[in-house]
């Protein structure tokens, strides 16, 4: 693959704050015209990584290349990137149109006034803010502010746009709508989006590819369905919030846990042994006997109705909560008696084992 | 909703009542009294409530008084500009460039420390600084920059301006630093990311956002400088007479009517100045 196929590339980038390692030897390259989401729990270094690519932070080591050009020592505005802030960071004293036109009017080689007006009105149409150009940014809704923040960056025609938790400040309804819009806008313009989020559903739903960051290093960089069904490390499985995780160790062909030996078929190499099984791969059996395949006894606690599925919560020995998801398309929900013991079982091929 | 509405308006009335009573007793009534007294008849040893324009005519017929009106306005303008020129960069440093909140608070407190000494001492301390054999002259002579001491430093309009600028500068720094400290750092990063250089960011983002602070600071400084008399009498050797000095002199010789005339004129000048500043920004919206 040639260098030009990449919109940006990080080469052994590290960043420390005192003794804390924020970024640990990051190697990453992202292709043009791609929607990449960057997932990580708080403190994993995802915002630092984004700010380092943008040029708001300087890495201690390593090289950053954008558009095939080494930008490691260039300031933010010379990197040809756009940045969308979590709190939008709109200019509070300017109108919507002046906010959007700011970059064109105030860069070192400002565009002529007429051209700014044309380009601003084009982008206002593109993001769906018609008729709001003259409004103050204090007089528009959260979703509209988000659009202004995006338009302000898009109008300067960057090839790479970095979004720092862009949907975090919006309410749930709006978040869903803006997800679709962000994807649609990106596809229309053919730019690359790097979208930082702490929400696993958002990361999986939006990214063409997903980067999972864990304590300053990249744990996995793959298509969302691979990340979801084949997490590369126990921590990735944990972040996804879709797996029941068990501690223990591998011994021969079984995984030794406090619930006895759990069978599995394949294992993934990892320094930290763990046994994971997805919520929706666990079946509930009212017959308490062990039978065939991996299983464990647990008491029913409560259930939660989610519309298309229902979540059952069970308590295993030692107080560990085990979640079971039942898709309603697979049949009517079952009712379980609280505090009664059931047996949870799954197929050995559904287990993901690290060790 | 009639009942809650009534309750809330009653509550509102009780909340503003202390303020209204206080302002009426100690602001509105005294101002009306001053206006009234300015039309009283003044004789050498007493004052009568017979209405006359005599004191007003006396003020506008006198070159001394008219000159002092212009001196007051001139010194106010110079001090205002000086406090802004010195205060704004200071505020910019304290409010924006110092990222550490504790450090910026400490720096602001340092600005306020001179206020722990009495006003008169602060003013008089300028005498050994600016005098013919004062610190500044001695230092300049030691370094051979001047051969004879500069006498214009003390007991001139310049010394009054230096003294006032030093005393009132902090009232400019405070409000501006406050407004600058409220600017979201992301906004400045965003404008930098959009390609704007430092001066553009300052002109288009930082300065407009700090303007309410400038206006509040300017109002503080203006009101205090226009009503000043102590700095002028201590540092000008009675050569600079502001409207405030005339009021002090007239009250001292029991000329209540003329003192009231000057008081009314001073109040009108301050009213115009404050009104002009408030036209620049809508403070209620900005704060």
pLDDT of B1 over the 60 cut: no
A152 lies within 8 A of chain B by CB = yes
**What's the rounded Cα separation, in Å, for the pair B232 and B166?**
13
A92 lies within 8 A of chain B by CB = yes
Which chain A positions have a beta carbon within 8 Å of B195's beta carbon?
77, 103, 106-108, 156
Q: Residue A190 — very low, low, confident or very high, per pLDDT cuts 50/70/90?
A: confident
Q: Residue A289 — very low, low, confident or very high, per pLDDT cuts 50/70/90?
A: low
Q: Residue A312 — very low, low, confident or very high, per pLDDT cuts 50/70/90?
A: very high
Domains and CATH numbers, chain B: 64-286 (1.10.3720.10)
Q: Residue A177 — very low, low, confident or very high, per pLDDT cuts 50/70/90?
A: confident
Q: Residue B2 — very low, low, confident or very high, per pLDDT cuts 50/70/90?
A: very low
Query: For the segment A132-164, what is each residue's pLDDT rounded down to a tens digit?
Result: 999 999 999 988 999 999 999 999 989 899 999
**What's the rounded Cα separation, in Å, for the pair B24 and B17?**
10
Which chain A positions have a beta carbon within 8 Å of B193's beta carbon?
54, 76-77, 81-83, 153
Mean pLDDT of the residues in chain A: 89
Test the B interface: residue of A54, A87, A92, A137 with most B CBs within 10 Å: A92
Which chain A positions have a beta carbon within 8 Å of B208's beta carbon?
93
What is the model's pLDDT at position B215? Answer: 95
What is the model's pLDDT at position A116? Answer: 94
Chain A residue with Cα closest to B191? A103
Residues 171-190 of B with CB under 8 A from A: 184, 186-187, 189-190
Dmax over CA atoms of chain B, in Å, equals: 82
Test the B interface: residue of A77, A79, A111 with most B CBs within 10 Å: A77
Q: In the A/B pair of chains, how many CB contacts fall below 8 A?
A: 61
Find residue A274's DSSP bridge partners: A354
State the nearest Cα–Cα gap between B190 and chain A, in angstroms: 7
What is the model's pLDDT at position A1? Answer: 43
What is the model's pLDDT at position B202? Answer: 95
Strands A283-285 vs A341-345: parallel, antiparallel or unpaired: antiparallel
User: Residue A77 and residue B189: Cβ atoms within 8 Å?
Assistant: no
Helices (DSSP H) in chain B: which residue ranges? 2-23, 29-37, 54-61, 63-92, 101-112, 119-124, 126-130, 135-142, 157-181, 185-193, 198-201, 207-226, 230-235, 243-252, 256-280, 283-286
User: Residue B192 and residue A75: Cβ atoms within 8 Å?
Assistant: yes
pLDDT of A25 over the 60 cut: yes
Chain B residue with Cα closest to A158? B194
> In this complex, which of B189, B194, B208 lies closest to A103 when CB atoms are compared?
B194
> In this complex, which of A56, A77, A92 lies closest to B194 when CB atoms are compared?
A77
Q: Is-contact A250 A256, C-beta < 8 A?
A: yes
A87 lies within 8 A of chain B by CB = yes
CA A301 to chain centre: 31
What residues does each domain of chain A span?
Answer: 3-229, 242-354
What is the model's pLDDT at position A307? Answer: 87
Protein fold of A242-354: OB fold (Dihydrolipoamide Acetyltransferase, E2P) (2.40.50)
Of all residues in chain A, the percent with pLDDT exceeding 90 is 50
Q: Which residue has the higher pLDDT, A174 or B41?
A: B41
State the nearest Cα–Cα gap between A82 and chain B, in angstroms: 7
> In this complex, which of B189, B204, B208 lies closest to A106 when CB atoms are compared?
B204
What is the model's pLDDT at position A271? Answer: 83
**What's the rounded Cα separation, in Å, for the pair A64 and A78?**
13
With a CB cutoff of 8 Å and minimum separation 6, the contacts of A306 are none
pTM: 0.80
What is the model's pLDDT at position A67? Answer: 87
Query: For the segment A46-104, what is each residue's pLDDT rounded down to a tens digit?
Result: 999 999 999 989 999 999 999 888 998 888 888 889 999 988 999 999 999 999 999 99
Q: Is-contact A271 A306, C-beta < 8 A?
A: no
**What's the rounded Cα separation, in Å, for the pair A127 and A130?**
8
Of all residues in chain B, the percent with pLDDT exceeding 90 is 62
Chain A residue with Cα closest to B202? A106
Among B221, B211, B232, which Cα is nearest to B274's?
B221
A107 lies within 8 A of chain B by CB = yes
B63 lies within 8 A of chain A by CB = no
If you average pLDDT over residues B60-65, what whole number do you get? 94
Q: Is-contact B167 B111, C-beta < 8 A?
A: no
Write down the CATH number for the domain with range A3-229. Answer: 3.40.50.300
Query: For the segment B175-224, what is each residue's pLDDT rounded down to a tens digit?
Result: 999 999 999 999 999 999 898 889 999 999 999 999 999 999 999 999 99
**What's the rounded Cα separation, in Å, for the pair A119 and A127?**
12
| Four-point Cα dihedral A118, A123, A128, A134, nearest 10 | -50
A203 lies within 8 A of chain B by CB = no
User: Residue B189 and residue A153: Cβ atoms within 8 Å?
Assistant: no
Q: Residue A3 — very low, low, confident or very high, per pLDDT cuts 50/70/90?
A: very low
Query: For the segment B272-284, what is each residue's pLDDT rounded down to a tens digit?
Result: 999 999 998 877 6
A77 lies within 8 A of chain B by CB = yes
What is the model's pLDDT at position A170? Answer: 80
Test the A interface: residue of B180, B182, B194 with most A CBs within 10 Å: B194
Helices B207-226 & B256-280 angle (0-180, nearest 10)? 180
CB neighbour class for B253 (10 Å; exposed up to 12, middle 13-18, buried from 19): exposed
Q: Residue A290 — very low, low, confident or very high, per pLDDT cuts 50/70/90?
A: low
User: Residue B189 and residue A85: Cβ atoms within 8 Å?
Assistant: yes
Q: Residue B4 — very low, low, confident or very high, per pLDDT cuts 50/70/90?
A: low
Helices B207-226 & B63-92 angle (0-180, nearest 10)? 150
């Amino acid at each position: 693959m040639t260098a030009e196929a990449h919109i940006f590339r990080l080469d052994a980038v590290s960043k420390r704050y005192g003794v804390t390692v924020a970024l640990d030897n990051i190697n990453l390259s992202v292709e043009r015209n791609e929607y990449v989401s960057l997932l990580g729990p708080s403190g994993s270094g995802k915002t630092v990584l984004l700010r380092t690519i943008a040029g708001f932070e300087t890495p201690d080591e390593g090289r950053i290349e954008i558009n095939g050009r080494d930008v490691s020592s260039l300031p933010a505005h010379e990197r040809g990137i756009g940045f969308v802030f979590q709190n939008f960071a709109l200019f509070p004293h300017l109108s919507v149109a002046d906010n959007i036109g700011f970059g064109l009017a105030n860069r070192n080689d400002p565009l002529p006034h007429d051209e700014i007006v044309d380009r601003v009105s084009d982008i206002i149409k593109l993001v769906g803010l018609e008729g709001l150009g003259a409004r103050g940014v204090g007089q528009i809704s959260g979703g509209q502010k988000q659009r202004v923040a995006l338009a302000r960056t898009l109008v300067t025609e960057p090839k790479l746009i970095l979004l720092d938790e862009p949907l975090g400040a919006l309410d749930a309804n709006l978040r869903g709508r803006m997800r679709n819009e962000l994807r649609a806008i990106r596809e229309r313009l053919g730019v690359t989006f790097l979208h930082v989020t702490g929400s696993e559903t958002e990361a999986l739903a939006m990214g063409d590819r997903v980067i999972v960051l864990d304590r300053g290093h990249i744990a996995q960089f793959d298509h969302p369905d691979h990340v979801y069904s084949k997490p590369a490390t126990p921590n990735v499985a944990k972040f996804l919030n879709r797996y029941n995780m068990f501690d223990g160790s591998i011994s021969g062909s079984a995984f030794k846990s406090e619930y006895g030996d759990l069978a599995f078929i394949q294992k993934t190499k990892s320094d930290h042994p763990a046994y994971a099984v997805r919520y929706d791969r666990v079946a509930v059996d009212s017959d308490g006997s062990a039978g065939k395949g991996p299983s464990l006894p647990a008491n029913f606690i409560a259930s939660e109705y989610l519309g298309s599925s229902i979540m059952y919560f069970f308590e295993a020995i030692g107080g560990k909560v085990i979640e079971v998801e039942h898709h309603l398309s697979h049949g009517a929900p079952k009712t379980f008696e609280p505090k009664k013991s059931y047996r949870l079982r799954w197929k050995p091929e559904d287990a993901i084992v690290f060790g | 909703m009639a009942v809650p509405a009534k309750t809330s308006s009653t509550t509102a009335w009780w909340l503003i009542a202390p303020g209204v009573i206080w302002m009426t007793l100690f602001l509105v009534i005294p101002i009306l009294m001053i206006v009234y007294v300015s039309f009283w008849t003044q004789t050498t040893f007493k004052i009568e409530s017979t209405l006359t324009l005599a004191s007003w005519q006396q003020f506008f017929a006198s070159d001394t008084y008219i000159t002092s009106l212009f001196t007051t306005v001139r010194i106010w303008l110079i001090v205002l500009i000086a406090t802004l020129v010195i205060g704004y960069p200071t505020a910019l440093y304290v409010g924006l460039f110092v990222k550490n909140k504790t450090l910026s608070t400490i720096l602001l407190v340092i600005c306020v420390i001179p206020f722990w000494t009495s006003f008169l001492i602060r003013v008089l301390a300028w005498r050994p600084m600016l005098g013919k054999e004062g610190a500044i002259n001695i230092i300049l002579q030691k370094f051979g920059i001047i051969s004879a001491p500069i006498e214009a430093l003390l007991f001139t309009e310049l010394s009054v301006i230096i003294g006032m600028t030093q005393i009132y500068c902090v009232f400019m720094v405070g409000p501006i630093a406050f407004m600058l400290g409220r600017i979201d750092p992301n906004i400045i990063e965003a404008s930098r990311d959009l390609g704007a250089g430092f001066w553009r960011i300052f002109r288009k983002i930082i300065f407009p956002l700090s303007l309410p602070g400038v206006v509040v600071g300017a109002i503080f400084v203006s009101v205090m400088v226009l009503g000043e008399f102590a700095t002028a009498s201590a540092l000008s050797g009675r050569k600079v007479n502001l409207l405030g000095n005339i009021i002090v002199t007239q009250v001292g010789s029991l000329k209540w009517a003329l003192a009231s005339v000057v008081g009314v004129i001073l109040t009108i000048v301050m009213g115009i100045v404050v009104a002009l500043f408030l036209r620049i920004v809508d403070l209620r919206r900005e704060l």
